Structure 1
Amino acid sequence: MGDLILYIFFSLVAILSFMLLKKPQQRANLPPGSMGWPYIGETLRLYSQNPDVFFSTRQRRYGEIVKTHILGCPCVMLASPEAAWFVLVTQAHLFKPTYPPSKEQLIGRWALFFHQGSYHLQMRKLVQGSLSLDVIRNLVPDIGAIAAACLESWSGGHVISTFHELKKFTFDVAILTIFGNLDTWNKEQLKENYFILDKGYNSFPTSLPGTLFSKSASARRRLSKILSSIIKERKEERSVQKGLLGCLLNSRDENGQILTDDQIADNIIGVLFAAQDTTASMLTWILKYIHDDPKLLAATRCEQKAIYKSNGGGNQPLTWAQTKNMAVTQKVIMESLRMASIISFTYREAVDDVYYKGYLIPKGWKVLPMFRNIHHNPDFFSDPYKFDPSRFEAGPLKPNTFMPFGTGVHSCPGNEVAKLEMLIFIHYAVTKFRWEVVGSKTNGVQYQPFPVPEKGLPAKFWKEC
């Protein structure tokens, strides 16, 4: 007992001495907030409650610049448009993207969102080029066919997990944008192994046999082999290659160097990861929001039925021009992006000591621009927790108050194809099907890690007569 008391005493002396030796300026200028328990910080509080509650209570108590300690890292949360712009745009060179090593291991270290500088710029241009408006406008009939087949498989009145099924839809669209035409066997092998990888992506990173992470790591190795085989086959074809894979295969840097197979594979998996869960989550929320508002559903259906009738009752495919003439549906999507805020925040790391509004952000600290808090701030959006698409009729928003796809050099390069997917899927859903949410009186939210309705929104779908 005496040894324990001495140990605690000397530990407290050591901690006190360390605090006294720190620069007075650094101690005085850290943002307000609580660092929680030693090492654990406030991690348990964050993951034991709705993240909205965690962040909003701290913002009300401390203001728009708050320090905390999450997952073993000291952090600064920033919840103003000006702060997000400072970190992500004007002073982006002072903050690097940061991810846990386990995420990099499962996606691949060459994926563009793990990088800065010339390599990141090169890869971003390639991804954006493969998903440009001139490219995706030609994909409308193919995406429409995937959406129609997906909805058809749901019909019959059996209960499905909407989010789970929509992940299959967004995966198939991602395969289309990456590979163009891909044979069924390779597509199914990619899907099977990617879903195993995805299941363990946010699990505790241990290599013990049988764990989710271990299974994900094994699936990642199998994905590398499958992609290597596809890459080899495409190189041997020597034909004009389309999609992202074609852009990657044809790329040359300023020195004329081509990308390695590992670089190509890592960026393909990175795009699959970025394209699947986020868009599936968003579509799940959209189906819930319009289901819960009969007037909004009627208005959306009326708009889409007019397009459907002009296409001979669905005998002709949806066109690019028609997707640009969906004013009601566009506002539904915009408000859903704001309300659900799938990307609640993003992680950056200070590469040097940075001062912002008189506060010090020490080198190595994580920085979290809080998109969700900005999107739900009543100063920018009146009655922010009410779903109201009409708020996007009132003219331009205040700058940097609406950032569903992030902002700056690391914003989502595939945002246009994501919005196109949503428009096309909604068109087929409301013109040819009706659905009923099972347990619609509950409004629970799950975070996995993106927010989705509880249990993935169980629902029944029927084909309209």
Structure 2
Amino acid sequence: MINYFEILFYIYIFLLSIFSYYFCFKNDKSSSQKKAYKLPPGSMGWPYIGETLQLYSQDPNVFFVNRQRRYGEIFKTKILGYPCVMLASPEAARFVLGNQANLFKPTYPKSKENLIGQSALFFHQGDYHIHLRKLVQASLNPESIRNQIPHVEELAIYALNSWAGGHVVNTYHEMKKYSFEVGILAIFGRLEGHVKDELKKNYSIVDKGYNSFPTNLPGSPYRKALRARKRLGKILSEIITERKEKKLLERKEKKLLEKGLLSCFLNSKDEKGMVVNEDQIADNIIGVLFAAQDTTASVLTWILKYLHDNPKLLESVKAEQKVICKSNEQENHGLTWTQTRNMPITNKVVLETLRLASIISFTFREAVADVEYKGYLIPKGWKVMPLFRNIHHNPEIFPDPQKFDPSRFENAPKPNTFMPFGSGVHACPGNELAKLEILIMTHHLVTKFRWEVVGSGSGIQYGPFPVPVGGLAARFWAGSTTST
């Protein structure tokens, strides 16, 4: 929903566009050389703001699908002041993210970089990116996260118990709390309660501003987010200083060092002996939290809804998980890594949820040189956006795409047709952790709890990730039965 400050921003931009029209017109004339190379079809919208209003004021699916129908699988537009080329085919995704990835660097709008941090993994390529990516992967690879299963289980059970009792909860908001706790665990390991609370409070403000229109007017969500981002930097700096001192003490006493992403950053050196500085560490910690929380919470919320809406499928998932639960009760232990790798029915439910919900609708890249693709010019400096959602919902790839059908994943999808975590060298490095926390939560949800959705549960809202309207209001009770 567009708030008061966003409306003021639109008025401001409209007035600005009137004064800048002559400049824009002149600039368009000077770009005749680019026009000669045949830009993709499409509309650039209003001067400066382009089609931002159309994208932000409606279901983004409508925006993307309507333009694909009108212009084809490659079209141009302008969003947040940036000229963009949008691509909606598996071949184009492979071209941008795989075969010719060197021609497209990872990028985000400047307003979003300001909130995550200039040094974040998402905004770089080359040696710096490779070094950071290795560090993140080292802390989030299967060998590292398998040891976190008991702790993630504890967080899942605690969350579910807090919802039980029949009171109405906002499922998405509660899943965000759970995902945030898992993210904190993966980054810091143990963290004192008051420090965690301060992180959570300021991160929440940044999160709201990140998903708002980037106006820096007094009182706007974006301006509040910029201030909260500075406070986050100070909090993280204090944690880093404390961990450095603790690391020196542990080395002297020959104790086992704290595990987690922060530990990997503090212990790292590249081939030239360079370490990751505090600002870089802070930027990447915030980046990982952003990548981990909203997306995973959205997936979990949709899983709960899809299982609720498909009782027979829910019974199949319950039967699969109860076999595991019974075995663990007899042997008196929790979930194991091997068990999480052997949940075929549940895993297909997760994959189909990732496809149908398509939490990540697209990704940002930027052309580092003029690139020709299928007879069209993608000019240097333009944003390039492979549209994952359009590919996932293409009926030629996935028949009856709006139907929730996990059986379609009994066979692996064709290459570049299913990209829930992105693709190529910049694919999400935390995808294994996300899958693990989803499977753990689903296991305990269906074996130990029952729930009902309040109201129709129909409709989708975007903020920007798609979630059921109202965050899916639901009631939970301890004790699983044969039906919801």
The TM-score range, normalised by the shorter chain, is over 0.9
Cross-structure match for 1:420: 436
For 1:339 and 1:386, locate their aligned partners in 2 and report how far apart those are by CA, in whole Å: 8
Of 247-256 and 25-34, more deviation after overlay is shown by: 25-34
For 2:136 and 2:392, locate their aligned partners in 1 and report how far apart those are by CA, in whole Å: 27
How far 1:39 sits from its partner (Å)?
A: 3.1
Cross-structure match for 2:147: 138
User: Out of 165, 169, 172, which is 2:174 matched to?
Assistant: 165
Cross-structure match for 2:359: 342
Q: How does 1:246-261 map to 2 (within 5 A)?
A: 246-261=263-278
* Change in CA separation of 1:344 and 1:313 when aligned onto 2, cut-off 3 Å: farther
Task: Kindly provide the CA deviation profile for residues 357-379 of structure 1, in whole angstroms up to 9, marking residues without a partner as x.
Answer: 11111112211101001101111
8 Å contact kept, 2:88–2:390: yes
How far 1:320 sits from its partner (Å)?
A: 1.1
For 1:327 and 1:158, locate their aligned partners in 2 and report how far apart those are by CA, in whole Å: 33
For 2:139 and 2:467, locate their aligned partners in 1 and report how far apart those are by CA, in whole Å: 29
1:130 partner amino acid: S
For 2:24 and 2:159, locate their aligned partners in 1 and report how far apart those are by CA, in whole Å: 62
Q: How does 1:401-412 map to 2 (within 5 A)?
A: 401-412=417-428
Secondary structure at the aligned position of 1:29 is classed as coil
How far 1:316 sits from its partner (Å)?
A: 2.5
2:345 partner amino acid: V
For 1:325 and 1:262, locate their aligned partners in 2 and report how far apart those are by CA, in whole Å: 40
Cross-structure match for 1:58: 67
Structure 1 residue 460 corresponds to structure 2 residue 470 = no
Q: Mark the runs of 5 or more structure 2 residues left unpaired by the alignment.
A: 1-17, 251-256
User: Out of 184, 193, 216, which is 1:175 matched to?
Assistant: 184
How far 1:52 sits from its partner (Å)?
A: 1.6
8 Å contact kept, 1:343–1:450: yes
Cross-structure match for 1:189: 198
8 Å contact kept, 2:24–2:47: no
8 Å contact kept, 1:43–1:69: yes
Secondary structure at the aligned position of 2:329 is classed as coil
Cross-structure match for 1:330: 347
Cross-structure match for 1:373: 390
Task: Kindly provide the CA deviation profile for residues 39-73 of structure 1, in whole angstroms up to 9, marking residues without a partner as x.
Answer: 33322222222222221122122211111222222
Secondary structure at the aligned position of 1:200 is classed as helix
Q: How does 1:281-430 map to 2 (within 5 A)?
A: 281-312=298-329, 315-393=332-410, 395-430=411-446
* Change in CA separation of 1:236 and 1:298 when aligned onto 2, cut-off 3 Å: same
1:426 partner amino acid: T
For 1:28 and 1:269, locate their aligned partners in 2 and report how far apart those are by CA, in whole Å: 41
What's the TM-score once normalised by structure 1's chain length?
0.93
8 Å contact kept, 1:241–1:247: no
How far 1:205 sits from its partner (Å)?
A: 3.3
How far 1:349 sits from its partner (Å)?
A: 1.4
8 Å contact kept, 2:213–2:222: yes
Percent of matched pairs sharing the same residue? 66
For 2:232 and 2:134, locate their aligned partners in 1 and report how far apart those are by CA, in whole Å: 24
1:412 partner amino acid: C
2:434 partner amino acid: A
How far 1:230 sits from its partner (Å)?
A: 1.4
For 2:386 and 2:47, locate their aligned partners in 1 and report how far apart those are by CA, in whole Å: 24
Task: Kindly provide the CA deviation profile for residues 235-283 of structure 1, in whole angstroms up to 9, marking residues without a partner as x.
Answer: 1122323110110000012221222111111111111111111100111
Task: Kindly provide the CA deviation profile for residues 92-135 of structure 1, in whole angstroms up to 9, marking residues without a partner as x.
Answer: 12112222222222111111111111111100100000011111
* Change in CA separation of 1:13 and 1:402 when aligned onto 2, cut-off 3 Å: closer
How far 1:313 sits from its partner (Å)?
A: 7.0
User: Out of 450, 459, 468, which is 1:444 matched to?
Assistant: 459
* Change in CA separation of 1:33 and 1:319 when aligned onto 2, cut-off 3 Å: same
Secondary structure at the aligned position of 1:312 is classed as helix
Secondary structure at the aligned position of 2:76 is classed as strand
* Change in CA separation of 1:103 and 1:20 when aligned onto 2, cut-off 3 Å: closer
Of 257-266 and 46-55, more deviation after overlay is shown by: 46-55
How far 1:187 sits from its partner (Å)?
A: 1.4
8 Å contact kept, 2:120–2:280: yes
Taking only aligned residues, the RMSD between alpha carbons, in angstroms, comes to 2.0
* Change in CA separation of 1:362 and 1:167 when aligned onto 2, cut-off 3 Å: same
For 2:211 and 2:405, locate their aligned partners in 1 and report how far apart those are by CA, in whole Å: 33
8 Å contact kept, 1:78–1:369: yes
Task: Kindly provide the CA deviation profile for residues 70-96 of structure 1, in whole angstroms up to 9, marking residues without a partner as x.
Answer: 222221111111111111122112112
For 2:274 and 2:445, locate their aligned partners in 1 and report how far apart those are by CA, in whole Å: 46
8 Å contact kept, 1:305–1:431: yes
